[in-house]
Structure 1
Amino acid sequence: MRTRRVLVPLLALPLAASAVTGLPAQAVAHDGHHRHHHDRTVLTPLDLAGGQQPENLVALPSGGSAVTFALTGQVAEVSRTGRVRVLAQLPVPADGDTPVLHSKTFAAGIARAHDGTLYVALSTGTAEHTGIWRVPRHGRAVRIAALPATSLLNGVALDERHRRLYVADSTGSAIWTVGLRGGGAERWASGPEFAPAGFLGANGLRLHDGAVWVSNLDAGTLLRVPVRHDGRAGTARQVLGGLGAVDDFAFTGRGDEVYVTDIKADTLTRITPGRWRTTRTTVLNGSDGLSSPTAVTVRGRRVTVTSAAYFTAHDPNVLRATIAR
C-alpha cells in the first residue's frame, strides 16, 4: 500500500522538536486539556485504503472545505454534510520520487482566490510536474510555475492584492513567490531558520499583519518574516518555540493568537501570547478524532482540522469543532 512509503520515514526519523527554543521556561503556562475546549464536533471519516489522506485545506463559501489528498494528487471538496467530491486530478508520474518521502506525488498547500480558483503546491521529484498548479472552477488544472524537482513544497498563501503566492519549501530551506499570471518562481527568503533537521523544515505558511509566518516542523518553531514596502523579505524572527512536530497553524482572529497542529502528538493547541507569559491550551486531541493532524482553518469559534493518519495509520478525517473560550 502506497501509504507505507510515507509512514516508514515519518516514524523512523527523529523529530527533534520537543525542546523549547527561544523562550524562557517561566514564560510559558499550560492550561491543560478538556477544561473548556469545545462545545461540539462533527467528524467526516475518509478512506485510508483509497488514498484519502488530506494534507491541507481551504475554506469554501458553502461551509465545506477544499482539501488536497497528498499521495493521490487529488483536489477534493468535503462538504458540510461529509460528501467527498473530486475537483481535479494532478499528475502522479510513473517516475515520481519526492524528496524525503519517496512518494510518486505530494499534493500539499492550497489557496483559494475570490473567483473560486484554487492554487495547489505539487511535488513529484520531476522537473516536468513540480510547481504551482491552478485549478479553475471549470476546466483542467494547469501548472503556472515550475519549481525545483528537489523541492518538497508545502504551505501556500495567496496575496490577491499583489497577485502573488508564497510557498514554503520543506527541503529547500526557503519561501518562494509565484505570480498569479505565471512565469518563474523567485526565492523570496531562505536561511537556516527554515531548514530541516533530518526530515522537514518550513511547513505551514500564513499571511498576517504585514508579514509571512511559517512553521518549521523539525525545529518546532513559528517564524515571522516582514514584507517590506518594496515586497522584499525582511529579517526572519522566531516568535514561538517548543511547538513539537508543528505542521500547520492558523490565527484565531485575536491578534497573534494561533491554533497549532502537532502531527505526532495528535493535538490542536491554542497559543495566546501575553505581555508577561504565553498560555498554551490543548483544545482537541486524539480522543476527539485527531489522527496525525496536518492543517487547520478558522471561522470565528469554529475550526476545521484535517488528519492524514501518516503516523497513526488509521482513521484519516476532516473534523469540524466549535471551540469554547
Structure 2
Amino acid sequence: MSFYRPAWTRRRAATLGLVSLLAAAPTAVLPASAHPDHAAGTRLGDVRVVAHFDRAAGQVAESIALEPGGGVVIGMIPARQVVRVTPDGAVHALVTMPLPPDGGGTTPVIGIPVVTGVARSDSGPVYFLYNSGRGGLTGIWQVRPSGEPRLVVPLPADTFPNALVIDHKRSRFLVTDSTGGRIWQAPLRGGEASVWSADPALAPDGFLGANGLKIHDGAVWASNSDHGTIVRLSVAKDGSAGGAEVRATGLEGIDDFDFTGRGTEILAAINQAGKLVRVDANGAQGTLLDAEDGMQGTTAVAVRGDRVYVTNGANLAGNDPSLLLARLQR
C-alpha cells in the first residue's frame, strides 16, 4: 500500500496512495538519471509516462496487476476504484466500491475506506482488496464483467489488507495485514481466511508493518514499511509458514517490490522518498529512479520480461500521479 497521509493526521508516513486520471496527456519520455551506482547491476532505460491520473478525484495509484498484451490493472486508494490502463494509456474504471454506511471512519489507521492490492488469476479474473473498517465489506473481492463486485473472502473489520497475491501452486490467496503484522491465506475458490504467518518480522512499529508481497523461488517475501525491511518466509511442504529471514534493511518507507529475474535481485518502491531502488542479493542498494525521472510518492512496481511498470501516488510530494514504463538493461 502506498503512503497516503490525510491532512488531518501527522502520523509517520508509511503506506497508501492516491491517484486518478489527470486527463489523457500525451505519452512523455523522461530522461534516465545518471546515478553513480547504476553500473553495479541492473539498470533502467527508456523511461516514459503511460498514463496520468487525477489526484483531485482520489485516484491515487496503489498497486499493479499485469495483463496479457501490455494492459495494467491498478487499485486506486481513496477513489475506491479498480481501473484498467490499456497499452496506449487509456484509463477505464472497472469497479467503484460503495461507501460503508458510516462512511468508513472505522477503517484502521487512516479512517477512510480504500482499495489497496490487486491481482489477476492466470485464468483471467481480477481480484482486489477493500478496506472499510466493517465486516461484510472488508476482504477480497472479484471484479465481474457486469461491473458489480463480488465478495470472495471476508476479512475481519479490524484488519488492514494491503497486498494481494495468488499462490497458484496451492490454489490460495495470500494477503498482508499491515496493522496486524500478519499474512492471511484463503482458498482461491473463496471461503474463510486464516492467519498464515504472524512472525514478529511482519509487525508494525506505530503505523504499517507487512506491506508488499510476492512469491518467488518457493518462498514468500514481504516488505515491512515501518522497519524498512524485506523479509523472506520459507514455505513448508504442506504449505504452512516456516521461519522468517530479513534479507534487506535500510529501506524506510518501502511499499511494493518485485524481482528483476536475476536471482533474488529486487526493485523496491520507496514511497516516502519517491525512489525506485535496486536491492542486490546481498542486500546492497542503488537508486535507479528518483525525482529527476518523475518519481513522486512511488507506490508499486511490477516486472514482466524486460518491462518494468511503476506507479506514483504523488501523495507526499508532487501533484502528478502516474503510471510509468521502463526497460530493464542488464
Task: Assess same fold via TM > 0.5.
Answer: yes
Native 8 Å contact 1:116 1:136 kept in 2: no
Q: Deviations over 1:140-161 (max 9, x none)?
A: 2111111111111111110123
| Residue correspondence of structure 1 range 234-253 to structure 2 within 5 A | 234-253=242-261
- Is 1:319–2:318 an aligned residue pair? no
Q: Deviations over 1:102-136 (max 9, x none)?
A: 11x11111111122101111111111200110113
Q: Deviations over 1:282-303 (max 9, x none)?
A: 1111111111111100022221
Cα distance in 2 between the residues matched to 1:76 and 1:86: 4
Which secondary structure state, in structure 2, belongs to the residue aligned with residue 273 of structure 1?
A: coil
Structure-2 residue corresponding to 1:129: 137
Structure-2 residue corresponding to 1:256: 264
Relative to structure 1, is the Cα distance of residues 185 and 233 closer, same or farther in structure 2, using a 3 angstrom cutoff?
A: same
- Is 1:61–2:68 an aligned residue pair? yes
Q: Deviations over 1:42-67 (max 9, x none)?
A: 21211111111111011111202100
Q: Deviations over 1:245-287 (max 9, x none)?
A: 110110111111100011011110111224xxx4322111111
Which secondary structure state, in structure 2, belongs to the residue aligned with residue 85 of structure 1?
A: strand
Structure-2 residue corresponding to 1:21: none
- Is 1:111–2:119 an aligned residue pair? yes
Structure-2 residue corresponding to 1:38: 44
User: What is the letter of the counterpart of residue 6 of structure 2?
Assistant: V
Structure-1 residue corresponding to 2:286: 281
Structure-2 residue corresponding to 1:27: none
Native 8 Å contact 2:226 2:253 kept in 1: yes
Relative to structure 1, is the Cα distance of residues 171 and 261 closer, same or farther in structure 2, using a 3 angstrom cutoff?
A: same
Query: 1:92 deviation in Å?
Result: 2.3
Relative to structure 1, is the Cα distance of residues 202 and 178 closer, same or farther in structure 2, using a 3 angstrom cutoff?
A: same
Native 8 Å contact 1:7 1:313 kept in 2: no
- Is 1:86–2:116 an aligned residue pair? no
List runs of 5+ in structure 1 lacking aligned partners.
Answer: 16-29
Cα distance in 2 between the residues matched to 1:210 and 1:321: 27
Q: Deviations over 1:165-219 (max 9, x none)?
A: 0000000110000111211100010032111111110000000111110000000
| Residue correspondence of structure 1 range 156-305 to structure 2 within 5 A | 156-274=164-282, 278-305=283-310
1:308 to 304, 309, 313: 313
After alignment, is 249-258 or 278-287 more displaced?
Answer: 278-287
2:111 to 102, 116, 122: 102
Relative to the length of structure 1, the TM-score reads: 0.88
Native 8 Å contact 1:205 1:215 kept in 2: yes
Query: 1:244 deviation in Å?
Result: 1.8
List runs of 5+ in structure 2 lacking aligned partners.
Answer: 15-34
Cα distance in 2 between the residues matched to 1:76 and 1:52: 9
Which secondary structure state, in structure 1, belongs to the residue aligned with residue 319 of structure 2?
A: coil
Native 8 Å contact 1:37 1:284 kept in 2: no
Structure-1 residue corresponding to 2:77: 70
Q: Give the superposed CA RMSD.
A: 2.1
After alignment, is 307-316 or 123-132 more displaced?
Answer: 307-316
Query: 1:34 deviation in Å?
Result: 9.0
Which secondary structure state, in structure 1, belongs to the residue aligned with residue 57 of structure 2?
A: coil
Identity of aligned residues (%): 39
Native 8 Å contact 2:165 2:213 kept in 1: yes
User: What is the letter of the counterpart of residue 99 of structure 1?
Assistant: P
Cα distance in 2 between the residues matched to 1:122 and 1:313: 26
Structure-2 residue corresponding to 1:18: none
Relative to structure 1, is the Cα distance of residues 13 and 159 closer, same or farther in structure 2, using a 3 angstrom cutoff?
A: same
Which secondary structure state, in structure 1, belongs to the residue aligned with residue 295 of structure 2?
A: coil
Cα distance in 2 between the residues matched to 1:139 and 1:61: 20
Q: Deviations over 1:85-115 (max 9, x none)?
A: 0111223224112111111x11111111122
Native 8 Å contact 2:117 2:164 kept in 1: yes
Query: 1:39 deviation in Å?
Result: 2.4
Which secondary structure state, in structure 1, belongs to the residue aligned with residue 316 of structure 2?
A: coil
Cα distance in 2 between the residues matched to 1:5 and 1:295: 17
- Is 1:47–2:66 an aligned residue pair? no
